[in-house]
Structure 1
């Protein structure tokens, strides 16, 4: 009996000890739940959607009255909702009060109920700092602010007094704070500016913009990413004016990470340096347009992914307005717009690929090169580097070590490569060789042999050798049909080389020449290497 009591007593003590330890040292799983999960994620990202000018009055208002508040948005709902925050420029009053501004050619006021479509489309924040939200006077502006809030959307750039109109909004997601300021440099009269206790808009001027600069510097101390929504530029002009570029430069110096321009009603180019972004104009998104000016019917959804430190990725999705309804552009029409945008963007040190991805141009000698987008993608990932003179040397042939290093970086992060144990008997190069860790990693995963006395890492890499390395790295893919030889010069290849070349060709990794040859012994260039490695990354399983 005493033994049983002692056993129960010991068990009770053990249970108490466990409870105590759990209380003092909670299980690790508790730290991965809820908001605390953000604290241990190695990389947190936030995805933003930006669009240009939005008008819910005039003929768009007629459409909404006829078919409901969601009518203009149905063709773009999936994309708009696929973001953490969606932001636009709301360019009309929304209310029932007031009268049209005297002497103003175009005045717009929409029914408050039309905001239901804006909310259902996924909008979180709108700028009211533009040349139309005061079209029906101060009372209607204040009504507009309240109506926007009523529908669960955050207004910025207008308010009951100057402090409110100029106040920033801070959005937060995944532990990242995104500060947003709005201002307009386009107003019909200075009285539209909020001043002291006077209601109105956040207004700055082309020759005097110290207010937005100082507020931006202050915002940069409160937020990880600072966004400026700015109404500027001349209508229907695709090239930014000198005064716009001057203000852009000042805002970037003051700490702007993202600058989104509106008012020209047409698309303009982008500036992107891999860290900060300027969209000089996103054109019309939902708007009453004139068919005789087709450029004003074109807009875009700008998808921007940010971390705490910078703008990580930028993608342009072209849109068009068809009888008041905004839809995604497709096919040749989309290709032509992206090509035009590429031309408008390149003067600002960036470019846009056929998929709409915006890249910084890192190298002076790749701006017009056929492989510039492949090179840009790999450079962004740290898989290729240029030379100290700002050049990439796209047409220079690579060595075996250089191609092997590119492939290794495609297969594993740099940290994993560095941690990889050097296989016993490895002798492809000396430990002092710059590519030692890459070659030993490829040996460790079975892509290269441990030793090969005739293999010199500093000799040029042939197209055949590049195919063999990718074939091995893919780890025994199904062999291609060797009876089908798309090239006329493969007769002397051994079985592995033949399979590798045919597999690479079948997989779309590498092409032959117009004369029907593959030229397996020809050296592969840095540009060609960037292209095949990028395609290799796109294969299933990588």
Structure 2
């Protein structure tokens, strides 16, 4: 289907250019950019059967991507494709789900965007500046607390979680999967139980987050909820929770190369969520303290498109009784994490900035982060 200007002229002001289709959709890049100028917050929505794909028009105006098209960028045609996988691909995704103790609920679907220049050169738009939703309308019931969207990592073949929101629309469950990239997507169900969570305050939170594949145990039956979380572990948790792309370049810290968390630390660093030390180290085994966690959470909220604004005066002063004991560089972020409901004080309204954080606490704040970003439901 070729999209023409009259098809979207009226819809662009509503913010939703809805395109029903039964196959690939093609639209000129120049037209998409024209619509983006008319309404910068608008998106083009492709609907194929029970699937849909909503892409902000501003994604087609980024200088870096347009530059890849060369001199003929203004003549390029954008092709948007939603296709179910073949049996061989579906089998690989199903096996990937089994490898992580999950069951596949729908046939995997490929979401793809490419620009085709007049000379036939095709340039993939594989990553986005913001989280882009893909919708699955389901004709069966699910248990949201045991279900999540998943995608296949193209480099490893591993099945990984994506932030997912479930809503009931016209009597049917709609799953909205958020991620800043294209791949194969599906829905999976898991039911995790950890013996060492019985009687623990974090049992429900941790097991639900584990069902959604957002956190992992230290073994199949153990989570070690009260164990201090390390900087490397929290970086890995953030990467899973926010569905970050793994970074495989060699530029890294001196103490993470070759370790299980190396790619996760690089991904979190590339996204601006964590940093290292002047000596070039990351100190992956150092325990994550509360003020560092607050800084990281505020950065993550900004990355997710939901920044937390804090005034320099009143909001900081009315925060915690011991806020002055926190490092200067962390105080505004502590106040921000509290404002967003991601971190709390104790019964004395003390934040304890130098206190260690546990694995259960890390799972809890990641849930609150995703809720703050409107990318979580159960």
With the length of structure 2 as denominator, give the TM-score of the two structures: 0.49
**Greater RCO (CA < 8 Å, at least 6 residues apart):** 2
TM-score by length of 1: 0.35
